[in-house]
């Protein structure tokens, strides 16, 4: 997902197995909090990107609305791209701990499609590690929540390591949302909360 006017690009690792996907888009596992975090950051509503309910059910479907998410990302100028194009999940789960990277993204080619991009955020340690390897400049691994200069392909970018939105990551939804909000405030995509 590369909106031509994107100022920010979010990069994770690799999607979960097909049976864990609740939609055909990035972060498709309903148990992953990514789209709840975005809902909280931009709309103060964790359920903002959930599929609406059909019939008499009181709750929404256990899926996110991929078209609503894509429209939002395009409108806000937020690109989303995996750091990994081919991988093997050695334990059959979504844990990056057991992700064997076969092929990484061609970052220069991706960035060429989004010339206004100035800020990259990663959604966890493995994605950050992969980007640092691609960059090859000896940048020290940033701590979670830390932003570092990320010069690449003749561009002065920043790289922010954000917390994983996996439920397995031991951080509350509110704290994950606060970290993402701080990144989007720094990038100028959402207003600072008072």
Model pLDDT, residue 184: 96
Model pLDDT, residue 104: 83
- pLDDT tens digits, 102-114: 678 899 999 999 9
What angle, rounded to 10 degrees, do the helices at 34-43 and 173-186 form?
Answer: 60
Structural domains of the chain in order of their starting residue, each with its CATH number? 8-186 (3.40.470.10)
Model pLDDT, residue 107: 93
Question: How many Å apart are CA 180 and CA 4, to the nearest integer?
Answer: 22
Q: What residues of the chain score a pLDDT lower than 70?
A: 14-28, 53-61, 87-102, 193-194
What string of H, E and C letters represents the secondary structure of 20-60? HCCCCCCCCCCCCCHHHHHHHHHHCCCCCCECCCCCCCCCC
User: Among 101, 149, 144, which residue's Cα sits nearest to residue 123?
Assistant: 144
């Amino acid at each position: 997902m590369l909106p031509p006017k994107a100022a920010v690009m979010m990069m994770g690792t690799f999607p979960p197995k097909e049976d864990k996907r609740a939609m055909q888009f990035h972060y498709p596992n309903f148990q992953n909090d990514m789209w709840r975090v975005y809902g909280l950051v931009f709309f103060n509503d964790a359920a903002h990107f959930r599929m609406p309910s059909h019939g008499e059910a009181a709750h929404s479907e256990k899926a996110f609305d991929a078209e609503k998410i894509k429209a939002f990302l395009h409108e806000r100028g937020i690109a989303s791209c995996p750091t990994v194009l081919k991988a093997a999940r050695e334990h059959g789960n979504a844990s990056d701990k057991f992700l064997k990277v076969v092929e990484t993204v061609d970052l220069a080619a991706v960035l060429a499609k989004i010339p206004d991009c100035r800020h990259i955020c990663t959604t966890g340690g493995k994605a950050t590690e992969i980007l640092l390897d691609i960059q090859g400049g000896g940048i020290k691994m940033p701590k979670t929540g830390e932003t570092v200069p990320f010069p690449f392909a003749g561009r002065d970018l920043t790289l922010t390591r954000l917390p994983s939105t996996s439920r397995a990551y031991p951080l509350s939804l509110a704290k994950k949302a606060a970290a993402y909000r701080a990144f989007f405030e720094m990038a100028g995509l959402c207003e600072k909360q008072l």
